[in-house]
Structure 1
Amino acid sequence: MALLAIVYFSISGTTEKLAHAVARGADSIVDVACCRITGNDIMSGRFQNESVLETVDRASAVAFGSPTYMGGAAAQFKAFADASSERWSRQRWANKIAAGFTTGACPSGDQLHTLTYFTILAAQHGMLWCGLDIPGGEDVSGRNRLGSQLGLATHLVDGALPQSDIDTAEYLGQRLAKLTMRNG
């Protein structure tokens, strides 16, 4: 069965909740490996967890996730991306399907920039991007409430992730898995 690697960094647990929701959406369609980036993976500023990189090597699809800090992906996620350069030079991740998700402090907290960063990372690796196909503000279930077609952008409301954002993450996982099976 195809493998979806969900590579993410989460400091407070919010991005992790989204990662697990993406996994729930995909797990009846493809195998899923959740790969959380931790502080222990980074030594002297460099990402050192070869196991995570090898999981992405084996995967047919990848979902990238990070909170948006200061207008971009967290430094811990960026360290992972920087460590992928050896794979980039050999295009080891080419033709994998990729998607992304992020959360920020505000409804318009520059989450789009983080999603754009993920798409550029995927493009550099020769990956094929999977965005959301739910028109923002049009879904009767309230999914994609912030209206980002590039990927899932969220923010906390009263200190919690809205259920509609969790539902959107599950949908993104399902969409990514279905495209992976179609592509494979």
Structure 2
Amino acid sequence: MNMTTPTPQTTSTPGVRIAIVFHSGYGHTARQAQAVKEGVAQVEGTEPLLMTVEEAPSRWNDLASADAIIFGAPTYVASASAQFKAFQEATSNVVMAKGLGWKDKIAAGFTNSGSRSGDKLSTLMQMALFAAQHGMHWVNLALPPGNCSSTGSEEDLNRLGFWLGAAAQSNTDQGADLVPPEADLATARHLGERVAHTTLQFVRGRVH
């Protein structure tokens, strides 16, 4: 009698989509968003999906199909921009009411302002609370503070010392072709990569 060796059963991880939805007033936050996308793209098995909050009303289904959503907005007067807030408010009528729920998706955030602090933490906290209202899982930056000693440098990752998300600073008299500086863009890439790895782990656990 012929005996055959059974084929091992393998479980593949489906393609993981990570959306980056943002508002940018003058192009600086858009550069930060692009850096986040680049960080996501560095992780094999993930697909970055970049969109503005202005595009979101026609792409709710794309956001619903994403495994993670990274939110981005400039910080104006200690808060996210009005355009980003309008996007947040719209989700209550679309995402919650129409069954396009984001529960158990991974979430993270980034923001930019003209000053080094600029109350950016306030914006990141608003984003984290917004994600919590949707039942999402928030991912922090996981970087030590940079440029906080005599051996530190403006080239350090997380040079502004934020933990909840990625922060960038853009001089108000310089265009988006010059700022944010490379250290802040590298920090944004780190966030994108970290979210991608975290989302892969989460999706693989769900599959198994």
Query: TM-score, normalised on structure 1?
Result: 0.89
| 2:68 alignment partner, one of 58, 61, 74 | 61
The alignment covers a number of residue pairs equal to 175
Residue 4 of structure 2 is matched in structure 1 by none
| 2:29 alignment partner, one of 3, 6, 15 | 15
Tell me the SS of whatever aligns to 1:34: strand
| Structure 2 residue runs without a partner (length 5+) | 1-14, 204-208
Q: Does 1:154 align with 2:177?
A: no
Measured after TM superposition, the shift of residue 68 of structure 1 is 0.4
Tell me the SS of whatever aligns to 1:84: helix
Question: Hey, which bits of structure 1, 4+ residues long, moved more than 6 A?
Answer: none
| Structure 1 residue runs without a partner (length 5+) | 42-48
Supply the distance in 1 between the matched residues of 2:100 and 2:131 (Cα, whole angstroms).
11
Counterpart of 2:192 in structure 1: which amino acid? G
Supply the distance in 1 between the matched residues of 2:19 and 2:120 (Cα, whole angstroms).
21
Tell me the SS of whatever aligns to 2:194: helix
The 5 Å alignment of 1:23-42 reads 23-29=37-43, 30-38=46-54
Supply the distance in 2 between the matched residues of 1:137 and 1:37 (Cα, whole angstroms).
31
Residue 81 of structure 2 is matched in structure 1 by 74
Counterpart of 1:23 in structure 2: which amino acid? K
Query: TM-score, normalised on structure 2?
Result: 0.79
Residue 172 of structure 1 is matched in structure 2 by 191
Measured after TM superposition, the shift of residue 75 of structure 1 is 0.7
- Tell me which structure has the larger Cα radius of gyration: 2
Supply the distance in 1 between the matched residues of 2:18 and 2:81 (Cα, whole angstroms).
22
Alignment CA distance shift 1:32-1:161 (3 Å): same
| 1:99 alignment partner, one of 105, 108, 119 | 108
- The structure in which a higher percent of residues are strand is 1
Tell me the SS of whatever aligns to 1:101: strand
